[in-house]
Amino acid sequence: MPIIYIKDKRRFKLDTLTSSYIIDIFDGGYLLNIYYGKRIDEDRVERRLRMRNASFSPVDPKMGEGEFSPDSAPIEYGSDGAGDFRISALKICGDSGDSVTDIRYRSHKIYSGKPSIPDLPSTYVNSDDEATTLEICAADEIKGVEVTLVYTVFENYGVMTKSVRIKNVSDKCVKIERAMSLCNDFPTMDFDMITLYGRHAMERNVERRSLSHGLQGVSSNKGISSHCQNPFCALVSHGADEDNGEAYGFNLVYSGNFSIMAECDYNDSTRLVMGINPDTFSWNLSPDEVFYTPEAVSVYSYNGIGEMSRTFHRFYNNNLINGKYKRSERPILINSWEAAYFDIDEQKLLDFGRAAKELGIEMLVMDDGWFGHRNDDKSSLGDWFVNENKFKNGLSPFIDKVHDMGLKFGIWFEPEMISPDSDFYRAHPDYCVHASGRTPMIGRNQYVLDVSREDVRDAVWKQMDAVLSQNKIDYLKWDFNRYICDADSATLSKERKEEFYHRFILGTYDLMNRLKTNYPDILFENCSGGGGRFDPAMLCYSPQIWTSDNTDAIDRLKIQFGTSMCYPASSMGAHVSAHPKAPFSTRANVALWGSFGYELDVRKFTEEQKSQVKEQIADYHKYYDLIHYGELYRALSPFDGGDKAAWQFVSEDKSECLLTVVCLKEQSYERFIYKFKGLNAEFNYKDEESGKVYSGEYLTVFGLDLRNEVNHLYGSKKWYLKKM
């Protein structure tokens, strides 16, 4: 069994393919995290308790003076104010006004399968035998709250998920001030922390630093997961690289304000907590009401950072992304944005479509500018009806013409936003997010709609549904182009104002679920100024996310390398654009690492470019499964400052391999022997271009001398090897 309860030791043992996780019920009902690391097949693990503690740390008087202190024990779910001074996972204010919180074990159950989380996206099982779940019910008897810790083990992936539900079993309202999804105590601080930082158009750069005493971490208070930080972190052993060392990866399935904090204490131990950002959150819990935290995903690898990433990729492709396009090949699209921006009309888009169809492109996407009286970013968000100056006969005849060409059709929306210059705003000025008595801040000439309100969501959905139900839409791009401030909702009482940010993101999920439920055949791509909401929760609704508004191929190398830390290639929207820095072939080679498309004026292609596009499209179809669902090896990182970047995909059965190399420095003639990764040593592989045959052992041990293959600045090349 992946999860067992050892009664005589009062111990839970949770096993995945690569890891073991052990929880003990200690005296007094304390839950202690005894072990998390490489899988061990026995349960004879000593409790890693520091029974002696710093002299000023209090002890539990029921357990003997000096015998046990919550401040030095590896508490499984640390709470606030009851002797554990480290950063806490739980803080609840009761009717008396104090926030002392102390939960103790009450009961547990183990069962096959995995529960969903009401109103929140989460990972899932395809069948109940794919996972096993442990629920540990603990309680604060004084506060009158039950806290259930929910663990699901996906044994064959090396993955464990965690979430928490909190029930008020008292007859008084309580206030949750902190409710993290994950709390892990480690007996050491000998880790490096890896996080993904950035900004608009340069998202998810890899940052690595050693843990130090005190607090460190990342967070967002922008209303979304944001371009600036991502709800991911990894704790890795010093010196760990792609192929060696320990790596613990953590990812929060949430799209709103989050916090990931590590604290290293006086015992040189580490506590990591992850969940909703408590700085912008509280929740009033009425009697019998239940609050659910978002889900946290944990991955352990003892074969380096690369194996941690590949585990995330396999797991997300199979147990997070869902719907029609989970495995169906997605159409190659041409998006109008970088070709025309707001300057679109029926004739121009039909011309795009004809030119695209001749080259083998499969879908035309009409981006921003089709609705209201939208000619720039100063108006019309919220007016989701066709701009009749641009489409004189309406939307339906135009879309029919696109379909008659043999192309699929896609459309752009920004449902959570409203322009001051819009009919919708003039009719409902109170629908925007604003604080009472204050003039709301404006960003990109737009306000944020208060989708925490059901009436606002209904009004938005009514317009969207009218467009989607009356037209054959194959693809929808959902954008979100500013952060949230002036956080308030007219429908929330004074006591509930700090619930706004979480209620807002629950409202977003409700809208997205309506789209997914009512239009399951639509290919849904999420976007937030590019990658501002690139998180696992969004992948529950949309199988792909626009990775960045920056489509320059060389800049995209860092963006895509960083994104791949935990997100699979199948999730990354990547297009060939008109950015001139890199050759056309390199732009395509980089964009192939994702859900492929074009974002430029195809009418202006030279004959040579047309020929290249046809080859690129053929490559997309040829390598689709290999790239979208294969094993990724980040061979040479652009973050390392070397003269080349290289990445490699290997099919799950090891029968195919695709290596891509990009030159980052002028006239790079340094010796370059590439040793392939992930191949089967006993297979023979044929290099498609040269026709030469090599053993897998030769390719991985000796490698190939590629020094003369990719030498010129921003040049690139692919090598495709197939089992004989």
Pairing of strands 523-526, 704-705: unpaired
- If one counts every other C-beta atom within 10 angstroms of the C-beta of residue 359, the result is 19
List 15, 265, 535, 549, catalytic entry: 549
> Does the annotation count 625 as an active-site position?
no
**CA atoms of 310 and 327, how far apart (whole Å):** 17
DSSP 3-31: EEEEGGGTEEEEE-SSEEEEEEE-GGG-E
Q: Pick from 201, 314, 203, 293: which is nearest to 249 by CA? A: 314
Q: Are 118 and 292 in contact (CB under 8 A)?
A: yes
Q: With the CA atoms of 349, 351, 353 and 356 taken in that order, what torsion angle do they form, in degrees rounded to the nearest 10?
A: -130
Rounded (5°) CA angle 422-425-431? 150
Q: With the CA atoms of 368, 369, 375 and 376 taken in that order, what torsion angle do they form, in degrees rounded to the nearest 10?
A: -10
Provide the residue count of the chain.
724
Rounded (5°) CA angle 187-189-193? 125
Q: Are 321 and 543 in contact (CB under 8 A)?
A: yes
List 479, 552, 555, 619, catalytic entry: 479
Output the six-digit token pair for 373: 């009286």
Q: Are 445 and 378 in contact (CB under 8 A)?
A: yes
**CA atoms of 573 and 551, how far apart (whole Å):** 10
Q: With the CA atoms of 222, 225, 226 and 229 taken in that order, what torsion angle do they form, in degrees rounded to the nearest 10?
A: 110
Close Cβ partners of 427 (under 8 Å, ≥ 6 residues apart): none
Q: Pick from 307, 195, 310, 313: which is nearest to 243 by CA? A: 307
The single-letter code of the amino acid at 546 is: W
Output the six-digit token pair for 168: 């008020």
Measure Cα distances from 59 to 23, 70, 185, 244, 470 in Å.
21, 7, 19, 41, 67
The single-letter code of the amino acid at 584 is: F
- If one counts every other C-beta atom within 10 angstroms of the C-beta of residue 581, the result is 12
Q: What sign does the dihedral 411-412-416-422 (CA atoms) show?
A: negative
> Does the annotation count 479 as an active-site position?
yes
Q: Are 263 and 270 in contact (CB under 8 A)?
A: yes
Catalytic sites, residue numbers:
479, 549
